[in-house]
């Protein structure tokens, strides 16, 4: 996966190195961080566009994010797409969890899935929640899943 900042600057080093550099810089600046990871997708004809974000929240001081966009050409049901989003987020969370533990940074995985059964995305709620919690991560769904439903949604 290729990563960039919101301003479009490409992250040229490995994701682990970029996150560690960020954690050190923010800690030295006196910030307490929390990291939220989320993904979203949108269907455009034959293609499905995905975005995964790593949101760095500075306690009471705003935040910033790293972004990865990718596209696949494949037919998927809504439920398959929701679980694919969750798996992309878990993949990133799993890669970063030891590093975040080392720097004592909280981690949440956000799923762009509605908790209201009247919404179609709700069909994937149980599986997504089980997947995320089963991997040992903190799970958030809509309306609390801003990393996926707001941040990733805006960069697709």
Query: Using one digit for the tens of pLDDT, what is the confidence trace for 72-99?
Result: 999 999 999 999 999 999 999 999 999 9
Domain locations in the chain? 4-154
pLDDT at 121 exceeding the cut of 80: no
Percent of the chain with pLDDT over 70: 100
Pick the CATH number of 4-154 from 1.10.150, 3.30.70, 1.20.1300, 3.30.420: 3.30.420
Smallest CA-to-CA distance from 89 within 68, 62, 106, 120 is with: 68
Question: What predicted TM-score, i.e. pTM, was given to this entire model?
Answer: 0.94
The residues, ordered by sequence, that sit 6+ positions from 106 with a Cβ below 8 Å of its Cβ are 33, 34, 35, 100, 138
Bond preceding residue 64 cis, omega within 30 of 0? no
């Amino acid at each position: 996966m290729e990563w960039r900042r919101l301003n479009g600057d490409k992250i040229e080093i490995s994701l682990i190195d970029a996150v560690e550099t960020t954690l050190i810089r923010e800690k030295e600046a006196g910030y307490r961080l929390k990291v939220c990871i989320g993904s979203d997708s949108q269907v455009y004809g034959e293609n499905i566009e995905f975005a995964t974000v790593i949101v760095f929240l500075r306690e009471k001081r705003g935040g910033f994010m790293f972004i990865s966009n990718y596209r696949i050409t494949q037919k998927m049901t809504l439920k398959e797409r929701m679980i694919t989003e969750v798996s992309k987020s878990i993949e990133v969370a799993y890669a970063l969890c030891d590093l975040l533990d080392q720097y004592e940074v909280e981690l949440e995985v956000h799923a762009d899935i509605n908790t209201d059964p009247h919404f179609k995305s709700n069909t994937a709620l149980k599986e997504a929640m089980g997947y995320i919690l089963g991997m040992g991560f903190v799970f958030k769904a809509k309306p609390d899943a801003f990393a996926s439903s707001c941040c990733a949604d805006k960069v697709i």
